[in-house]
Amino acid sequence: MAGQPSNGGAKAGAVKTTTDDAQNGNGSQVGGNGNAWSPSSWQSKPMKQSVSYDDEKAVEKALKKLESLPPLVTAAEVSKLRANLEEVALGKAFLLQGGDCAELFDYCTEEKISAKVKLLLQMSMVLIWGGNIPVVRIGRMAGQYAKPRSSMTEIVDGKEVPSFRGDIINGFDLSERTPDPARLVSAYYHSATTLNFLRGQLSSGFADLHHPFEWTLSHVQSSETKEKYQAIVNSITDTIRFMHTIGADTSSSLGTVDLYTSHEGLLLEYEQGLTRLLRDPTDGNKSKWYATSAHFIWIGDRTRQLDCAHVEFFRGIENPIGIKVGPTMRGEELAKLLDIVNPNKEIGKVTLITRYGADKVNELLPGHIEAVVQAGHTVDYKLTIQCSYRNTRSAPTGVKTRQFDNIMIELSNAHNIHQKCGTHLGGVHLELTADAVTECVGGSENLTDDDLSLNYTTYCDPRLNNKQALEAAFMIAAWYREKA
């Protein structure tokens, strides 16, 4: 934020953007806390994870450019996702959300985008088999360029330098650590390019079930596990083959799928610059504010303070939103937060993304479920709860890693807790990559700490590799089949 210190409690005195609410045919609106809302009203609130730029005029130029550019997503697409997430909230669909921890501009290539989409499609096919319900797919892509940091600086070779905070802010190379406002516009164009390629791929038959993907299970070292996974693959392929034989696969819906985009709505200057007043597809007589940077954005664990800027921005947009819920969240705070961002308790509006770690999920999740139920936000399953994962530790070499078994323990325990509480785990949110990285240990490959150096490429948190991500889908599918 121009002219502001980069500490966690800085006041949001951002450069005034050129968005004029009145020019869009609608001024401010009254939100859940009774106060007027506009795309810029967050600027009056305290700001966490703010960004300090050296060149204020360059910031103004970048933000003005963003405001002149077309929306990245449409109101109709956002409305369709809201309807899909309503089905998830009602237990009629399952939500798969996944992608890179920190998306880089360099990931905007045909090979990397195609590989990630292929992995998400394979995972969703396995989950459809397991739950026997539709799967809603949301990628952490086409915009996941900003990452929150516990510290705004770090020590490298004995020198204090700004922390890498994502390509939308600065570069990982030490020569590029100064925040650069030109990256705001670059983020838009990389998102637009990624979205353009995604839409082209999906509309041209990339996801056509008539051409199922190859399933490689050679990495599975346990013969019993391999046999179990192969049985799932055989069941899926047999079903597709049977549908083709009887002519039941002629529907055009089998030739494509919906894949929505998402990212953490961390950089509010960027989000405001892409917020548009658009016609509501469900009621052409109304116009509503849409954050058109992505179909779905979420509030992180570091920016969910009730009286701060991020909650203020999120309470006014029409998009479905996510909220990260971790060990530091108190039950009463969660209930108040939901009242602010979803005062009308709309089905499909809010997704809670729980992230406790295997060691704390049993202790903390029941209390959060109870707090939400008592606040009236789970009547008729109005709240979707996903399970993310924490479980991060430092390996002997100093790099961060995650244990695959702990991730699956957290997922399994969360699933069981929801069943006991009379609610349901509506989906999973995983940090993953389609690349054969060695960042998380365990899984069928039996990766160990000694293997981390083989292909450790993350610029932020460790991700499941392609084989571990698919294995997670197999295990979740098996749970649902066993409990059916």
- Contact indicator for 441, 451 with CB cutoff of 8 Å: yes
Flag whether 324 is marked binding: yes
Positive or negative, the CA dihedral 421, 423, 424, 430 is negative
Burial label for 291, CB within 10 Å (0-12, 13-18, 19+), is: buried
363 annotated to bind ligand: no
Does the annotation place 101 within a ligand binding site? yes
Q: Are 168 and 271 in contact (CB under 8 A)?
A: no
Q: Is 208 annotated as a binding residue?
A: no
The answer to whether 21 is annotated as binding is: no
DSSP state, 90?
T
Q: Name which of 375, 403, 378 is nearest 389 in CA terms.
A: 403
Q: Which helix (H) or strand (E) holds 351?
A: strand 350-354
Q: What is the CA radius of gyration of the chain?
A: 22
Is 288 marked within a binding site? no
Q: Which DSSP category does 418 fall into?
A: H
Are residues 401 and 434 in contact, defined by beta-carbon separation less than 8 angstroms? no
Whose structure tokens read 């989409």? 117
CA distances from 185 to 136, 174, 294, 454 (A): 30, 21, 15, 35
Ordered alpha helix ranges (H), 138-262: 182-203, 223-245
Structure tokens at 348: 């499909």
Q: Is 282 helix (H, G, I), strand (E, B) or coil?
A: coil
Tokens at 340, concatenated: 């602010």
How many CB atoms are closer than 10 A to CB 218?
8
Alpha carbon distance 148, 160 (integer Å): 18
Structure tokens at 420: 């006991």
Binding site residue list for phosphoenolpyruvate: 140, 324, 355
Binding site residue list: 101, 140, 324, 355, 431, 461
Binding site residue list for Mn(2+): 101, 431, 461
